Amino acid sequence: MKSAGVLIVISLLLTISAGCKNKQVTQQGKNPVLLGFSQIGAESAWRTYNSKSIRKAAEENGIQLLFSNAEQKQENQIKAIRSFIVYRVDVIAFVPIVQDGWDNVLREAKNAHIPVIVCDRKIRTKDESLYAAYIGTDSVEEGRKAARFLLQKYEGAGGTHSILELRGTDGSSASDGRAQGFREELSKNKAFRIIYSESGNFIRSRGREIARNILDANNDALQIGGEKIDIIFSANDGMTLGFLEELASRGIATGNQESGITVVTVDAQQEAIDKLRSGDINCVIECEPDIGQEVMDAAKKLAAGERVPRLLHVEEEIFTENDDLLRIAPRNY
């Protein structure tokens, strides 16, 4: 058991950020804060940028980073967190791939007196003392924003509006939260009906595959059981872009184009903003990946034994076809 733990620690050490090859001593003679960070993987352009943000902020703040990539597996995240405990890092931060199943490992961290920051996605636990802070997005609110846009757009339109939903990773707060907020707000108008929902796991190629399967089964028409889809609500840009690629390859236009298929997507990566500008997407709900500085600020305070706010929802915007689209700053991802 012990040697397995040591092996994991060694492999983690290999991923220490450039310039921080060992537990180092700063010029002032102080040990830098040692932060263990467990990332989900690289399922989307958003996620890749989120990892960049963490690495960059760690470097800029003189924080020694142990960065571990879980390749979409919760068990790898749990192993990484255990290795951080064995290595006696000052602070642990992680992006929980799903909401449940963290209590045991977080209790181990607590018993070792290592504070934990939950980043980007939330966890579900009865014991709130298992982590010090959450920093990231408010996914339920993102879902509500998407629904509010639709309620406004279709106000007074008459008839019913059928929705196809692309979910992200089931069990994650990002996907479940968006789905929850969307339904909550949309229930205010019975004209909206979600007639199809499938998980594309936040992956672009899966978005395309879902579109391909639907179109193949319906003679190239975007419909389910003979009913035309009026609205696509997608839990991330990657899946949206994959889905729209397949539609375009079969000559089906979306957004402001003549087909009248409304598209609402979450993230706000540059490609989605470009499609909002070209009229292929109607609404983009921003999800902020650039949370590195906030995480480092909290890590420094926690390592110094200070308290930090328990909940930090980062500021996020909504961009719609009704806005002055020139105001949107270029994205980095």
Report the interface residues with ligand AHR, using CB under 6 A.
Answer: 43-44, 46-47, 120-121, 174, 202, 236, 238, 266-267, 287
User: At closest approach, how far in Å is the CB of 62 from ligand AHR?
Assistant: 27
Looking at the Cβ atoms of 79 and 121, the one nearer to ligand AHR is: 121
Looking at the Cβ atoms of 36 and 289, the one nearer to ligand AHR is: 289
Count CB-CB contacts under 10 A for residue 298.
25
User: At closest approach, how far in Å is the CB of 143 from ligand AHR?
Assistant: 12
User: At closest approach, how far in Å is the CB of 209 from ligand AHR?
Assistant: 17
What is the token pair recorded at 283? 């609404």
Query: Of how many residues is the chain composed?
Result: 333
Looking at the Cβ atoms of 85 and 284, the one nearer to ligand AHR is: 284
CA proximity to 85, closest of 64, 107, 100, 102: 107
User: At closest approach, how far in Å is the CB of 91 from ligand AHR?
Assistant: 21
Looking at the Cβ atoms of 246 and 286, the one nearer to ligand AHR is: 286
Looking at the Cβ atoms of 106 and 266, the one nearer to ligand AHR is: 266
What is the token pair recorded at 75? 């068990």
Looking at the Cβ atoms of 35 and 266, the one nearer to ligand AHR is: 266
SS3 133: strand
Which residues lie across from 319 on neighbouring strands? 284
User: At closest approach, how far in Å is the CB of 51 from ligand AHR?
Assistant: 11
Contacts of 275 (CB under 8 A, 6+ apart): 241, 244, 255, 281
What is the token pair recorded at 108? 């181990």
User: At closest approach, how far in Å is the CB of 249 from ligand AHR?
Assistant: 23
Q: What angle do CA 45, 48, 53 make, to 5 degrees?
A: 125
CB contact burial 173-200 (16+ within 10 A = b; e otherwise):
bbbbbbbebbeebbeeeeebeebbebbb
